[in-house]
């Protein structure tokens, strides 16, 4: 069976799948290249790193981990087994986050194909969700999805969720006073600044509730503030460690659980302001008893929403086909 990295059409399919992954502020900070048609390299795109809010590169790694999971699904549904090396050559090439080889394998499972088919349907949903709680079997599936990628999804109870919303509001107020942070936020989210930013139809409405269960990116000229669900269903995604490999695993876990949620008709958005503040201070706290928090997620049943703009697949390549020497894996 031919390598999916050798044929241009097959590799374009991988590029397209990876490019559909969620990313911090829709930065899409990844590049992908086939090396000699033998293996693929996933690299960070330094031009799309958030210098102010992500000085450690944590959010960049989480975003690239999500793209890596989509790449794994695309490889698997093409009849191959993906073999992954995380951070294979950081000393010589710090941008290189993962190398992927393949071995022949049988047909993909029904579950794998279901997840792959949801790649193009997954959305970040900043609209109000219904008050309907997530059923226990759905919660179990989401926890299992995170666990399969060596992460932990912790669903918060009513009181813990309310406390976290207050903490998010405090972090939001503090970040509002940081001019550099706000300038970076506007540069990547306001319509007209970047073709792959967050246009108004993606940013969602303003929130009339306090504390808000959704992040306000501003620019809500078409709609006034609206009320959101009274009991937001919040979760935190944690990893045992807090280094680059852990962040890449968190991104893969995030995308697996988001695609699993999409299979169940569940929507998601993110409230990571406290994590931005933590990263800007170069700290690894707050530390949950089940690990380091990498994502704060709001889950629920939401309306259909449009997709955020994506980079063309051709832009995701690091160089013309076959010109990189790559690393030995």
Residues 24, 85: Cα–Cα separation, whole Å? 23
Residues 306, 23: Cα–Cα separation, whole Å? 16
pTM: 0.94
pLDDT digits (tens, 9 = 90+) for 13-50: 999 999 999 999 999 999 999 999 999 999 999 999 99
For residue 321, pLDDT over 50 is answered with no
Q: Which domains does the chain have, with CATH numbers?
A: 8-121 (3.40.109.10), 136-300 (3.40.109.10)
Q: What is the pLDDT of residue 54?
A: 98
Q: Which of 274, 303, 215 is nearest to 58 (CA)?
A: 274
Residues 98, 260: Cα–Cα separation, whole Å? 23
Residues 40, 101: Cα–Cα separation, whole Å? 7
Residues 194, 151: Cα–Cα separation, whole Å? 33
pLDDT (mean) for 124-138: 97
pLDDT (mean) for 266-272: 98
Q: Which run of H or of E encompasses 103?
A: strand 96-104
pLDDT (mean) for 96-125: 96
**What are the b/e assignments for 52-77, b being 16+ CB within 10 Å?**
bbbebbbbbbbbbbbbbbbbbbbbbb
Say if CB 237 and CB 250 are below 8 A apart.
Answer: yes
For residue 85, pLDDT over 50 is answered with yes
pLDDT (mean) for 156-176: 97
pLDDT (mean) for 236-241: 96
For residue 75, pLDDT over 80 is answered with yes
Phi, psi (degrees; rounded to nearest 5) at 35: -110, 115
Residue-averaged pLDDT of the chain: 92
pLDDT digits (tens, 9 = 90+) for 51-72: 999 999 999 999 999 999 999 9
68/201: higher pLDDT: 68
pLDDT digits (tens, 9 = 90+) for 209-234: 999 999 988 766 667 899 999 999 99
Q: Which of 232, 303, 230 is nearest to 267 (CA)?
A: 303
Residues 255, 315: Cα–Cα separation, whole Å? 22
- Angle, vertex CA 120, rays to CA 69 and CA 155, nearest 5: 60
């Amino acid at each position: 069976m031919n390598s999916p990295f050798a044929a241009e059409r097959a590799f374009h399919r991988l590029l397209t799948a990876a490019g559909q992954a969620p990313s911090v502020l829709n930065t899409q900070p990844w590049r992908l290249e086939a090396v000699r048609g033998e293996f693929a390299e996933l690299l960070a795109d330094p031009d799309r790193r958030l210098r102010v809010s992500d000085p450690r590169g944590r959010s960049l790694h989480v975003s690239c981990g999500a793209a890596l999971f989509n790449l794994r699904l695309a490889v698997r549904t093409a009849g191959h087994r993906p073999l992954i090396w995380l951070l294979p050559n950081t000393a010589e090439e710090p941008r290189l986050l993962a190398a992927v080889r393949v071995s022949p394998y049988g047909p993909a499972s029904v579950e794998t194909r279901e997840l792959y088919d949801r790649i193009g349907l997954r959305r970040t949903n900043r609209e109000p969700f219904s008050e309907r709680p997530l059923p226990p079997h759905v919660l179990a599936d989401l926890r299992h999805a995170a666990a399969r990628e060596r992460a932990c999804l912790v669903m918060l109870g009513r009181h813990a969720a309310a406390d976290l919303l207050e903490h998010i509001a405090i972090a939001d107020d503090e970040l509002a006073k940081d001019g550099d942070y706000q300038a970076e936020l506007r540069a990547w989210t306001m319509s007209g600044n970047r073709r792959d930013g967050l246009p108004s139809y993606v940013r969602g409405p303003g929130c009339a509730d306090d504390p808000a269960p959704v992040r306000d990116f501003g620019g809500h000229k078409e709609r006034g503030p609206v009320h959101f669900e009274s009991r937001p269903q919040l979760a935190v995604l944690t990893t045992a460690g807090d280094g680059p490999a852990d962040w890449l695993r968190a991104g893969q876990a995030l995308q697996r659980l988001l695609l699993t949620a999409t299979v169940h008709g569940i929507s998601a958005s993110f409230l990571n302001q406290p994590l931005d503040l933590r990263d800007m201070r170069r700290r690894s706290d707050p530390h949950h008893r089940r690990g380091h928090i990498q994502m704060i997620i709001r889950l629920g049943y939401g309306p259909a929403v449009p997709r955020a703009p994506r980079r063309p697949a051709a832009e995701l390549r690091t160089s013309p086909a076959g010109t990189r020497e790559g690393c030995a894996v």
